[in-house]
Structure 1
Amino acid sequence: MTEKSSLLLQEQEKNIDTGTEHSARSELTYDQRSFIMNGERVFLNSATIHYFRMPREEWREVLMKAKLAGMNCIDTYFAWNVHEPEEGQWSFEGDNDCGAFLDLCAELGMYVITRPGPFICAEWDFGGFPYWLETKQGIKFRQNNETYLYYVDLYFDRIIPIIRERQLSVGGTVILVQVENEYGYLMDDAAASAHMNHLRDSLLQREIDVPLITCVGGAEGTIEGANFWSGADGHYAKLREKQPDTPKLVTEFWTGWFENWGGPSAIQKTAPLFEKRMMEILRTGYTGISHYMFYGGTNFGGYGGRTVGSSDIFMITSYDYDAPLNEYGRVTAKYAVAKTLSYFVDAFGALLMETEEVPAEQIKVRHPQGVTVRGRSKGSEKIWFLESHKEERETFHVTLEEGRTIPVALNPGQIIPILDRVEIAQNVYLTGGTMITGNEVVNGELTLFIVAEAGQRSVVELETNVLNVQGSSMPVLVERDQLNGAYRFELVHFCEPGIVHLEASGVLIRFVVLDKATMDRTWRINGGGGAKQLRYAIGFDDVDVSLSGQVTGMISDPNRNILLLGSWADGERSLTGLEFIYGEANDSQSGIQDEHVQESAPENQYALFTMPPMPPKLSDSPELSRVTLTAEQRASNGQPEHFSQYGQDFGYLLYECDFDRSEEEITTLILPDLQDTTRIYVNRVEQALVRQVGAAIVQVQTTKGKNTLQVLVQHMGRLNFSPYLGESKGLTGSVYIGGSFQDIRRNWHTEHGVAHLDEVNHLEDAPLLSRSFTLDGMDRAILVGAVSQGLRINGMDVPMEGYQNWFSFNTLDLSLYLRHGEINTLEMPYSRTPLNRLELILYRSENELKDWRMAGTDALLPRQWGLYEPPNVSSYVDTYRQDADYSGNWNAMSVGNGSYGQPVWYRWRFSKSAVPEHFRVNLMLRLTGMSKGTIHLNGHHLGRYWQIGPQEDYKIPVSWLQDENELLLFDEEGRTPERVRFLYDNLSQYPWGVVE
């Protein structure tokens, strides 16, 4: 560490390490329990949202949704390759204006956690590194490599000032900055210290003065957090052991998961499980949660990455992530869970942050079998977390201290927080056997929301000197407990909200009794502008708040009742959905007005619910341009160049060469280093689509005499996480004709018998596996697939620096270890099964193909388009010209069912549909029947498509539509688009109105 960096770190630690005094430069401190803002503990409830995964026009609505869900913080990465797509060409405008994104967070009153990398993972191409970085001589990524750090410093010189100028200490809302990302997955802290400390110092030297954090791996002077979905207790124990004096943060709580082409839909993390995992986090004692992702967004252009686990795990275009907000920014069942639990944290977080876990031996709660109880306490106040282990919903009776028994209804696996004598006002103590949120004064009444399933009965108790029930909209049974004098309320939960007004020890209290579905439709409005009188809106499926503070809401059921709580004279307002939409109620009483809807309302007042807006219609006869694959430029030295050498970031590269055969035959093609899906053509006839990459062998049909081989490679995304970042895309090195392939997952020998690695096995203590093979006249060998660390061939160790067995994929050249004319033996420890791939590819070095020709993406375009200026093709957007001459080789077509058997471009021109003002639509493109390719709208590259699932629909940002539009579709197989169509999402059919 430099002397300057050491002094900066000491100053920062002096200001924030104890949490006992305010910093001279900042009002953020911390101790072992939590962060402290302006002297008050703050629970960091953070939403991870990436500005670069949506148009700028969508930022505000998505951020507002996070705020409405109770989030008080936004967490974002910064993507280096977005801001420097070509070396020295920086982009911080428009959708890439990350400073404007941070300013918008501040405008909405949100704290910010910034994660500038330089490595970010994020299922983003190359983990955020720009493609051209690969071309730098001698570079090694994520290491103290001189070349790498030189470019990192240049990046930091541009990105860190944007963050520095928005720190808390200078009036901004950036409160934490992360050093690197998940370095602990690669090596332990001791091995990582040199690099992590260098990056830490780089931030300090650029005047970052807020606390520095890390995730999965630490560095001296930083606060480490944990990334996980489950196992909260174990991660907490490790953090507490490493850093007993810092707050415990879940730096990434994985709300869902990414999806890859050809993989399953990622729906395994269900909403009930999501709720349970969040409860486990609260129960354990974390005081910061960053929901990764809260909103995932879209991998536009070529930015979707690739990850470990198999050879072909390429990210789909959608980064929906099964997150609380879906790809279109719509609320989901998980959003409702996150919102309810955030409201609970907001209501009782001050207590949670002051508590310690009750040791198991001190728990005096009595409960039946089938449930477990853990608790947190501060003095006499306790929160018990009751967890069901039953297979069906059941009501359990739990006896608390002093013999107080209450019923608690739990679903299988559910965890419910039970408040036990929590002081909600002076001399007023609350005990509740169900979920309770709110706990704030609204219009002079302390308002609490009592929540349970519809039809469920729940019990809450108030201990108070004097109680007076002043009124109720529902029957309520109130009894006085003779044992402790508490007032016991038995409540029933209907789909219509119930209100109970009472006075306890001089404090006005309001119970709002809700069923779970209604709680899901309850929104806490944080005021401002025209919404300053409104605090809670109950009954809306969705809500938004404009820049001026105007509140709008969407309702899917016009017969549903709406309840508004605020600072009006009467404090409560109620109306139906019909009254809200059409203004049938007296405005002076309802506070609802939507003049546009009133003036345009049809005689049938249900018409707007039965006749939603219609999406744009695509013509049945798009124009088309067939692509003739031709490569005319001779590659350097006659060898194939990969994407970075060619100077192209994404898109396609075409490789072409000629070879002779003495007779017509079926032979094999060996591609020893191929990292992307590829189409193979011989004599312009497609032979194969290669999906499993790393190395590949393909059968091809050849003719006697001269043959022309063409290899069309689509860049499918670089590894976003791996010890082997920076793999070359396209064809790298030589290609060979002839060779053999063996699937070697079967017939491995152990001391106990034979093991087949494509089957489920339970082999304990990692026994040694061995398998033999012969070369059959070949002199080269490649092993590709799920190898195990500790691989040996013929008794010699095969180095695999950085590899870990859970990566489940590697490509190894075994040629130097071969014994020619003898039996060769592979050995490796057993790791796991079943393996999805383990192949041995053998070939002869003398059969190399030479004299390659190449062409980039520009060669695939109709010559008259003017979309590209080769050889530097940065995207399908940058050189797009609206005034291009389209007269070239476009032809009108009548769509028929089938395929042209060659790449084809399709073009539609369509008009933007009229959408009534009271509807908010989201548009998607369904590509039924197409093969694989790319989508473009009005010069925007919308991303890759591949109709092998799980993605079926592709986002069309409404903000990118014009009055007249152009949609372009490139299809590798030339499938005809008779079933391609636009759709609105389901929630586009419901109207919105204004809440005043």
Structure 2
Amino acid sequence: MRIRHSILTFILLLSAFTAAHSQSANDHIFPAMAVAKPYIDFDSKGFIIQGKRTFIVSAGLEYARIPHELWYDRLLRIKRAGFNCIEIYTIWNFHEEQEGKFNFTGDHDLGKFLDIVKQLGLYAIVRVGPYYCAEWDNGGYPIWLKFKKGLRVREDNKPFEQYVDRFFDHLLPVVFKRQINDGGAVILVQLENEHPNGWGTIMSDGYFKRLQSKALQMGMQVPYFFSGLHHASDPAGDGKLDDDKRPNPWFSTEFWAVWYSQYGAKPGDAGLYDRRTWKIIAHGGNGYNYYMVHGGSNFGYTNNDEDAASYDYGTAIGQAGDLRTIYYTFKRAAWFSRSFQDVLENSTNGSAAYKSITADTTLKISARTSPAGDLIFLDNPGTSKISTALNISGAEELLAGKKISVQPKEIYPLVHNYKINDEVTLNWAFSRVFAIVKQDNTTTIIVDAEAGDQLLLRFNTKAKASSTFAAIKVANDHVVIDEKMPFTGETPVEYGFSTGSQTIRVLAMNRALTDKTWITEVSGKNYIITGLNYVGESVVKNGQFTIATETPLMQRAAQKGILYTDKKGLVFNLNMQKSNQQQVINLSNWQYKNAAINSVSTVNTSTWLKSKNPQPMGADADVTADAWYRTAVNIPSNGKYTLQVKGGGRGQAFIDGKPLAKWKLNDNELSFDLKKGKHTLAVFTAHDGRDKLAAYLGPIDEVDSKGLFGTALIKKGGPFITELGDWYFAKAVEKDDVKQGPPAFDTSVYKKYKIGADVFDLKEGYAWFHTTIPQQPAGTSKITVLFKSVDENATVFINGKQVAHHDGWNQPFEVDITDAEALKHPINLTLFIENYSNEGGIDQPIKINAIGDATAITGWQLKGGPGDAMSIQGWAKLNAAKQMKNAPAFYRTTFSVPQVTGNTFIWRFDPASLGHGSVWVNGHNLGRYPEKLDMKSLYIPECWLKSGLNQLVVYDEDGSNINKTRIVAEEVAGRIIKEISIPLN
């Protein structure tokens, strides 16, 4: 797979990568150790947890992206949506930001997080790395790893493995202490992540064996696997999930739900991912993990180069904890799959037996059959509703004159011969079942139907049943509910019957009400609550059922609810005092502090890192996105000069403390005017996140380095770097064509080529690429051809002669041309490119550097970081006349937020008119701006705000105007909260 900056391209490439990789890898899972098997086990048909067939409905989130004060809240929201599991990364640089200094406290307290997971009755899948991806800075690798000699990541490399071992020595005991067989939540462990060479149980080299042996040595006892299982935005694909050769369940560890390029939901998202989820359920999947269910925030400097502070992901639970439409979509599929998990975790493909139940060929039929019963799925892939009669042997009388309506894109489940208890079997459910809830001797079946839909259920009973409901038809050995769904509004339609010691209750409600229906367990008993927008914490004490309720600020506050115990439904009214959130808090009384003092000649640099040549950001152990470089230059005469140095990110040069010019460091050169004499050259550098290094193996010392690095040169004149254009290409037949040298350039053979274009149609192949380097000025002794990325292997020819070969894409390399005779004329530059997967060609523009002989600038000093944002020294009232223009600046003020009891107001910082930088509220770093999503303001977690004055500090790297910034409300995410108690007697 290639590393690209285009999000759409990344999606396509990763999909292609996982599809291609699955042919050579597998989705197998290593079994549990004997001591753990009674607690977590599996066979080819499903997972078995604590002796019960269990469908794993998992929610992806990262504790690293959530303040620890909000962990319980976010996990409870996940549980309320029917999830029984969470999946997390244990990101390396989050726990070992500084080499050898491990942090497992506060927001980093993984143990506490997993304990809360257990407290809520959820399971955990833990992905321990050491690589993560996750749109996280450097893919989760600590920056200090870049400066370890001989280190190659994700390979059988001793330096890398020794640091992995040390990290695992601290990390794995936290995880393994909480395995399910030791009373914890952890049921599965993933070693590595999305490695090109090892998924499932594939161990392609010693690196994987090292990870395995280390984890087992440290006490891993639950099942585990490498890299992941079935990553895709539509994991079920064409629905062929059954595999007789698979020794374990089918599971997707990354079902991509929406995408990280999005804030909030788009129209159609809920329906799209609803269908993709039901495809898994209908075709034999045994579980799935949505990546993500709650995205959260990239606090501090944790974002990669594709995002900023927000990692909302557009998914079910918003960055600020609000519930989106897709939340209820996830909830519906979760409760159904868990209700019928003893079927779905022990089934075979039963489609053949039911292929003729409808004459409508536009409906696709699939089925799962098991000892516990059958599930049949009517799939309407079209865009129009289909109403169809069903032809089922033995149910002709029940179905006579009736039709089932399947909505566009819906996968509609039917239930057959499902054993509810020893007294009752659900012979047929032709209405949609939302959930089945066991409540002591009562079993409640919640069905979903709109007004006018057919309610049609038949129960077989061991003995004759009794019922007080007129709509229920009771016979000696069966019970039937057969009527049109009446208009229900906010109240379910209730049916019920008893037989033997068992009671069956059916609650029929429309979809709007199932969205407001919650299943909660308190002290081992299940309760059902309908009519509320959200149910949080619940407790039973002194005969009272007390719940924390919540409704969005923008919705009607009055609600009518019903609490269903095992015996009755208790009606209650909930009247919330509706509250309007103030929309804007204007900011004033700003203070300013110069953040460019490191540019002046008199600054004390005794603690700075000193080196001959500039070192990349992070060489001094700083982990921020900012750094200063300083050196001295002696200019022989007035004039225009060009500075050349490799770099990554953004830069601003200062001469003797005065701003000189800004440039993109990746351009590697800057031209400016200088006066004769000795000067202090200071360069401020910043970046917007490092690459996540997806699928990258090998050395990381020079991959996506930031700041300045390598040899620095200065020369009068310039600029000296120019981009080569006018490219052509011609297809080659085979790899050995390179031995014959490039074919003569002829436009009848060579076709025009645009940099970045794929000439291989996403397939393996070979091609020639040609351009002409213009004749250089007289006296030029050397030019260097700069290759930033060639996809993927390249052989370089100068005037038909091979001069270099390079293997690997996304890796810069250079070729010098020093032949004096050749430099007197235009030069033919030809590349032979070998492509082995996906697209190929010349990834990035190829440039030439004609600086030749130049003066090296040595004696560099480095200091990372913006400075102490919380320092009380150096502040003054903002005065534009005293502020240094076009230079980094600190700004500070205070603000107050309204405090209304029972409300959660959501506030965000709007960096309007600012450039690039970071924001702190009460000492907490909100993350980087500008945002790259539709939401441009930065979320301020409510737990970080306080009554009275709150301090706001902004570090703007561009020194932009601060006066247009504001604190703004995200009213759609605000909530009204109220506690209500309902007598149970």
Please give the TM-score of this superposition, normalised by the length of structure 1: 0.80
1:769 offset after TM fit, Å? 4.7
- In structure 2, relative to structure 1, the CA distance for the partners of 1:444 and 1:905 (3 Å cut) is same
Pairing partner for 1:622 from 556, 569, 590: 590
Q: Please identify, of 814-823 and 943-952, the stretch whose mean Cα deviation from structure 2 is larger.
A: 814-823
Is it true that 1:133 corresponds to 2:138 in the alignment?
A: no
Counterpart code for 1:70: G
Q: C-alpha distance in 1, partners of 2:750/2:510? A: 60
Q: Secondary structure at the match of 2:152?
A: coil
Counterpart code for 1:351: V
Q: C-alpha distance in 2, partners of 1:651/1:171? A: 41
Q: Secondary structure at the match of 2:117?
A: helix
Which residue number corresponds to residue 567 of structure 1? 565
Pairing partner for 2:254 from 240, 252, 256: 252
Pairing partner for 1:791 from 785, 791, 794: 794
Q: C-alpha distance in 2, partners of 1:382/1:417? A: 10
Which residue number corresponds to residue 23 of structure 2? none
1:660 offset after TM fit, Å? 4.5
- In structure 2, relative to structure 1, the CA distance for the partners of 1:841 and 1:276 (3 Å cut) is farther
1:211-261 alpha-carbon deviations (Å, 9 max, x no partner): 222234xxxxxxxx3222214257975x947x62112221222223223xx
**1:930, 1:947 within 8 Å by CA — same for their partners in 2?**
no
Structure with the higher helix share, 1 or 2:
1
Which residue number corresponds to residue 20 of structure 2? none
**1:44, 1:288 within 8 Å by CA — same for their partners in 2?**
yes
- In structure 2, relative to structure 1, the CA distance for the partners of 1:628 and 1:175 (3 Å cut) is closer
- In structure 2, relative to structure 1, the CA distance for the partners of 1:361 and 1:383 (3 Å cut) is closer
**2:59, 2:83 within 8 Å by CA — same for their partners in 1?**
yes
1:83 offset after TM fit, Å? 2.2
Which residue number corresponds to residue 391 of structure 1? 383
Is it true that 1:419 corresponds to 2:420 in the alignment?
A: no
1:780 offset after TM fit, Å? 0.9
1:760 offset after TM fit, Å? 8.0
Counterpart code for 1:924: R
**2:190, 2:224 within 8 Å by CA — same for their partners in 1?**
yes
Q: C-alpha distance in 1, partners of 2:490/2:170? A: 54
Pairing partner for 2:711 from 734, 737, 740: 734
1:745 offset after TM fit, Å? 8.2
Q: Please identify, of 484-493 and 538-547, the stretch whose mean Cα deviation from structure 2 is larger.
A: 484-493
Which residue number corresponds to residue 831 of structure 2? 826
Which residue number corresponds to residue 444 of structure 2? 447
Q: C-alpha distance in 1, partners of 2:842/2:547? A: 54
1:199 offset after TM fit, Å? 0.5
Counterpart code for 1:741: T
Q: C-alpha distance in 1, partners of 2:115/2:202? A: 37
1:527 offset after TM fit, Å? 1.4
Which residue number corresponds to residue 327 of structure 1? 319
Q: Identity percentage over the alignment?
A: 20
Q: Secondary structure at the match of 1:227?
A: coil
**2:285, 2:344 within 8 Å by CA — same for their partners in 1?**
no
Please give the TM-score of this superposition, normalised by the length of structure 2: 0.81
Q: C-alpha distance in 1, partners of 2:367/2:42? A: 24
Pairs within 5 Å for 1:276-315: 276-305=275-304, 313-315=305-307
Q: C-alpha distance in 1, partners of 2:840/2:279? A: 31
Counterpart code for 1:654: W
Which residue number corresponds to residue 873 of structure 1? none
1:735 offset after TM fit, Å? 4.2
- In structure 2, relative to structure 1, the CA distance for the partners of 1:185 and 1:547 (3 Å cut) is farther
1:125 offset after TM fit, Å? 2.2
Counterpart code for 2:690: R
Q: Please identify, of 695-704 and 74-83, the stretch whose mean Cα deviation from structure 2 is larger.
A: 695-704
1:708 offset after TM fit, Å? 7.2
Q: C-alpha distance in 2, partners of 1:948/1:381? A: 49
Q: Secondary structure at the match of 1:943?
A: strand
Which residue number corresponds to residue 194 of structure 1? 206
- In structure 2, relative to structure 1, the CA distance for the partners of 1:470 and 1:799 (3 Å cut) is farther
Which residue number corresponds to residue 674 of structure 1? 647
Which residue number corresponds to residue 971 of structure 1? 956
Pairs within 5 Å for 1:590-989: 608-609=577-578, 611-614=579-582, 617-628=585-596, 630-631=598-599, 633=605, 636-656=610-630, 658=633, 660=635, 670-671=644-645, 673-679=646-652, 684-685=658-659, 687-690=661-664, 695-696=666-667, 700-703=671-674, 705=676, 710-722=682-694, 723=696, 725-726=700-701, 727=703, 728-736=705-713, 738-742=719-723, 744=725, 747-749=728-730, 754-757=751-754, 766=765, 768-774=767-773, 776-777=775-776, 779-785=783-789, 787-794=790-797, 803=809, 809-815=810-816, 822-828=827-833, 832=839, 837-847=844-854, 849-851=856-858, 853-857=860-864, 860-861=866-867, 867=868, 884-886=871-873, 888-893=874-879, 900-911=885-896, 913-946=897-930, 949-962=933-946, 963-987=948-972
Pairing partner for 2:109 from 97, 106, 110: 97
**2:466, 2:474 within 8 Å by CA — same for their partners in 1?**
no
Q: C-alpha distance in 1, partners of 2:129/2:569? A: 48
**2:516, 2:530 within 8 Å by CA — same for their partners in 1?**
yes
Which residue number corresponds to residue 515 of structure 2? 520
Q: Structure 1: which 5+ runs fail to align?
A: 1-15, 217-224, 306-312, 582-607, 804-808, 862-866, 868-875
1:929 offset after TM fit, Å? 1.9
- In structure 2, relative to structure 1, the CA distance for the partners of 1:364 and 1:443 (3 Å cut) is same
Q: Please identify, of 745-754 and 900-909, the stretch whose mean Cα deviation from structure 2 is larger.
A: 745-754
Which residue number corresponds to residue 482 of structure 2? 488
Which residue number corresponds to residue 308 of structure 2? 316
**1:443, 1:566 within 8 Å by CA — same for their partners in 2?**
no
Q: C-alpha distance in 1, partners of 2:842/2:90? A: 36
Q: C-alpha distance in 1, partners of 2:435/2:333? A: 11
1:839-868 alpha-carbon deviations (Å, 9 max, x no partner): 43433342365136445345x54xxxxx3x
Counterpart code for 2:269: T
Counterpart code for 1:943: G
Is it true that 1:407 corresponds to 2:391 in the alignment?
A: no
1:296 offset after TM fit, Å? 1.8
Is it true that 1:61 corresponds to 2:65 in the alignment?
A: no
1:275-318 alpha-carbon deviations (Å, 9 max, x no partner): 1111122123221222222222111111112xxxxxxx433111
Which residue number corresponds to residue 4 of structure 1? none
RMSD: 3.9
1:408-432 alpha-carbon deviations (Å, 9 max, x no partner): 4344333222324434454543434
Q: C-alpha distance in 1, partners of 2:38/2:517? A: 35
Q: C-alpha distance in 2, partners of 1:741/1:395? A: 66
1:645 offset after TM fit, Å? 2.0
**1:125, 1:720 within 8 Å by CA — same for their partners in 2?**
yes
1:820-857 alpha-carbon deviations (Å, 9 max, x no partner): 55311123368649998534343334236513644534
Q: C-alpha distance in 2, partners of 1:384/1:744? A: 60
Q: Please identify, of 751-760 and 172-181, the stretch whose mean Cα deviation from structure 2 is larger.
A: 751-760
1:492 offset after TM fit, Å? 4.5
Q: Structure 2: which 5+ runs fail to align?
A: 1-28, 732-747, 777-781
